[in-house]
Amino acid sequence: MAMVRVQDVGKAYPYKGGRTWVLRQIGFEVQEGEFVTIMGPSGSGKSTLLGILGMLDGEFDGQYWFDGEPVHDLKPGQRNRLHKHNVGFVFQQFHLLDDLTVYENLDIPLSYRDVPRKERQARVAEILDRFQIVGKKDLFPAQLSGGQQQQVAVARAVIAEPRVVLADEPTGSLHWGQGRQIMELMRGLNEQGTTIIQVTHDERVAGFSRRVIELADGWLSADREKIHVNETQARSEAS
């Protein structure tokens, strides 16, 4: 069974008495352990689709099953619970909470999941170590570089051990040197079993994934498996 299955998904916003469609009849499946890139020009509906897949947006047409659960039929509370236990997010703007230290930013998702304090401490310590940011734990986001902030953001996205990480232009605010490190991090997570769905318009970033879904004007225009050559090409470009 596919982890993610969408069928005829559409999304429209009211506009001047009518509706403007940003997504139309989208359908695809994502298996557990995949690394998928959603690409498309600006305004093609990438981020909107990611919001629906991340269960942050429940107002859409069509059907969406996550691990067999019909997300389209869930009430907001049920959807929130499903999201909470399965999804981690990485944003282009990092969106670390400015008033919290690195440690507290990592602690927050666990606290929202009612993880006991002792266990939270252990998991935060483990992730700080894994991402090699132990020395930064007491710093505030403003005291970190962009790359370090995104590193923390990725750590925050995975600390609750989600089954899927959704990343929206994860390197969009970084120069490529920093961006490549983040993508290596993401690939490492994927290799450890985490499903990753990312949105980007950067071919180099897309090169880290194995499959690309392309959107154009809200329609799904292509869904292709990337061949190993592309990955090799991406690696050579990265180096």
Q: Which residues bind another protein (CB under 8 A)?
A: 13, 47-48, 50-52, 54, 56-57, 76-77, 80, 83-84, 89, 91-93, 95, 97-100, 108-109, 111-113, 156, 160, 168-169
CB of 111 to another protein, least distance (A): 6
- Three-state SS annotation for 52-100: HHCCCCCCCEEEEEECCEEHHHCCHHHHHHHHHHHEEEECCCCCCCCCC
CB of 129 to another protein, least distance (A): 21
Max Cα separation, the chain?
54
Residue 109 vs 218, nearer CB to another protein: 109
Coil vs helix vs strand at 45: coil
Integer Rg of the chain from CA: 18
CB of 101 to another protein, least distance (A): 9
Token couple for 1: 């069974």
**Phi and psi at residue 44, in whole multiples of 5°?**
-85, -10
CB 27 within 8 A of CB 2: no
Residue 200 vs 230, nearer CB to another protein: 200
CB of 89 to another protein, least distance (A): 5
Residue 37 vs 48, nearer CB to another protein: 48
Residue 111 vs 132, nearer CB to another protein: 111
CB of 212 to another protein, least distance (A): 20
Residue 56 vs 238, nearer CB to another protein: 56
CA angle, 42 as apex, 39 and 46 as ends, to 5°? 45
